[in-house]
Amino acid sequence: MLCRSVYGSFQYLCESKRACDTEEKALTDSLSLFSSPRLWLCTFTLSVAVCAVLLLPISILSNEVLLAFPHSYYMQWLNGSLIHGLWNLVFLFSNLSLVFLMPFAYFFTESEGFAGSKKGVMARVYEAVVLLLLLALLVLGIVWVASALLHDNVARKSLYDLWEYYLPYVYSGISLFGVLLLLLCTPFGLSRMFSVTGSLLVKPRLLEDVEDTLSCTTFEEDTLSRKLNSDTSCWVKLNTEAMKKEYQTVRNKRIALEMRRKASPWQRNLGYPLAMLALLALTVMCVLMVCFNVLELLLDETAMPRGMEDPHLGMVSFSMFGSLGAAVQVVLILYLMVSSVVGFYSSPLFTGLLPRAQDTNLTQIIANCVSLLILSSALPVFSRTLGITRFDLLGDFGRYNWLGNFYIVFLYNMLFAGLTSASLIKTVTWAVQRELIRAFGKSLL
């Protein structure tokens, strides 16, 4: 009887464990199935960010294409209404992603369900929706109070003007934050572009024996590998973690030296200098265009950024140099966007957001999507404010309240020119000083 009772208890425990495992597996499967919509929301947000980046270049190139082929039958689909619709769609989806989709994805990731409710996916959905509604009410109240402080008569608008006034007002604040973020990140990114590009190219090393350096690095790598693979001596205790990091550093150095040895003389002696000269030329061109825009702001009021309701494409070029100037504008706009992203992830405040392969959680992915969307959606306003292009803002992008303030636009241009010039001078002088010290130091040795 004792054996039967023990066997029955054991069988009951096994069945209970099997049932718990089945329930846990079902819950895990449901969460994994629901995690894919969150990734879809992140993918949609990144797609909107890419569209916002390409919005201004596509508009400028479309105008030049219509100028080159004014009576072409195959270009009749390319008109001002199409470009205007694209601007409105990007504005709509940017609002939707920033105000609703990304907050919902974040709240669902962090939610666990209300206390006392049945645990599961729907409980987390309910909590995320409630938090999203509370956040929307909070933001709406803040916007109403801000509009009451700034414009007392406008603040008396009813809730029927929510879509026509309050949401564009919210996005105007978000865009202002994005433009200020671009002001801080872009000059720093322009200086960082030299070091980032230099790390991807094979640098020419004057007065350096690559073969000798490579043999020493290979010998050091072999020594560290033998220490890591051998048993620890009884009288010497090795720091394994530090040694692994040192081994990885030496290994990366050896790979870089092998690439430099295999590089052709043209790639070694011309690739790096030409890339640096191209970056320097683009940066100097940006600074000169901003300085010219500052002079225009002082002399001509038409240089102020403004909105345009009916774009007349194919009438006149937006650059005084024609198609070549328009192509340069497109290159500069994309270069500024890449530089702003580099500066954003290189700044000490946002270094922790940098994605890492197979080591990035969903919260960091959502934060990266929101950051990139804020930067990219502010790029058209950023480019027009600095005078990089004369293409006026379309749709709701031109309805921002602060665009008509001369002092804000003028001060913004002056700060960008000053910060970029200071970063460029500092980067160039330090790089030249470092190379001279390395070259003359090795020659003296």
Q: How confident is the model at residue 6 (pLDDT cuts 50, 70, 90)?
A: very low
Question: How large is the average pLDDT for residues 144-172?
Answer: 62
Q: Is 392:305 a contact under the CB 8 Å cutoff?
A: yes
Output the CA–CA distances (angstroms, integers) from residue 97 to 43, 104, 138, 217, 332, in the order listed: 11, 10, 18, 50, 27
pLDDT at 29: 42
- Give the pLDDT confidence of 236-292 residue by residue, as tens digits: 445 677 777 788 888 888 887 777 777 777 776 777 788 888 888 898 899 999 999
Q: Is 183 domain-assigned?
A: yes
Greater confidence, 420 or 207? 420
Q: How far apart are CA 445 and CA 443, in angstroms?
A: 5
Q: Which helix (H) or strand (E) holds 48?
A: helix 2-68
Output the CA–CA distances (angstroms, integers) from residue 332 to 229, 270, 339, in the order listed: 51, 23, 10
- Give the pLDDT confidence of 15-31 residue by residue, as tens digits: 444 544 444 444 444 44
Give the number of other CB atoms < 10 A from CB of residue 101.
Answer: 22
The residues facing 393 across adjacent strands are: 307
Q: How far apart are CA 445 and CA 425, in angstroms?
A: 30
One-letter amino acid of 271: G
Q: How far apart are CA 3 and CA 14, in angstroms?
A: 16
Q: How far apart are CA 290 and CA 93, in angstroms?
A: 30
Task: Work out the burial of residue 326: count CB atoms within 10 Å of its CB; fewer than 13 is exposed, 13-18 middle, 19 or more buried.
Answer: buried
pLDDT at 137: 83
Q: Is 295 domain-assigned?
A: yes
Q: Is 143 domain-assigned?
A: no
Q: How many residues make up the chain in this entry?
A: 445
Chain centroid to Cα 167, Å, comes to 24
Q: Is 79:349 a contact under the CB 8 Å cutoff?
A: no
Q: Is 174:224 a contact under the CB 8 Å cutoff?
A: no
Q: Is 222 domain-assigned?
A: no
- DSSP sequence for 285-296: HHHHHHHHHHHH
What's the total number of domains in the chain?
1
Q: Is 348 domain-assigned?
A: yes
pLDDT at 234: 44
- Give the pLDDT confidence of 316-369 residue by residue, as tens digits: 787 787 888 888 999 999 999 999 999 999 888 888 888 887 778 888 889 999
Greater confidence, 264 or 223? 223
394 φ, ψ (degrees, to nearest 5): -105, 155
> Which residues constitute the domain of residue 336?
1-20+35-110+157-204+277-443
pLDDT at 308: 62
Beta strand 307-308 with 393-394 is parallel
Q: Is 335:420 a contact under the CB 8 Å cutoff?
A: no
Q: Is 212 domain-assigned?
A: no
Helices (H) and strands (E) in the chain, counts: 13, 2
Q: Is the pLDDT assigned to residue 100 strictly greater than 90?
A: no
Q: Is 268 domain-assigned?
A: no
pLDDT at 68: 84
pLDDT at 252: 81
What's the pTM value of the predicted model, to 2 decimals?
Answer: 0.78
Give the number of other CB atoms < 10 A from CB of residue 69.
Answer: 13
Q: How far apart are CA 35 and CA 362, in angstroms?
A: 9
The residues facing 308 across adjacent strands are: 394
Q: Is 265 domain-assigned?
A: no
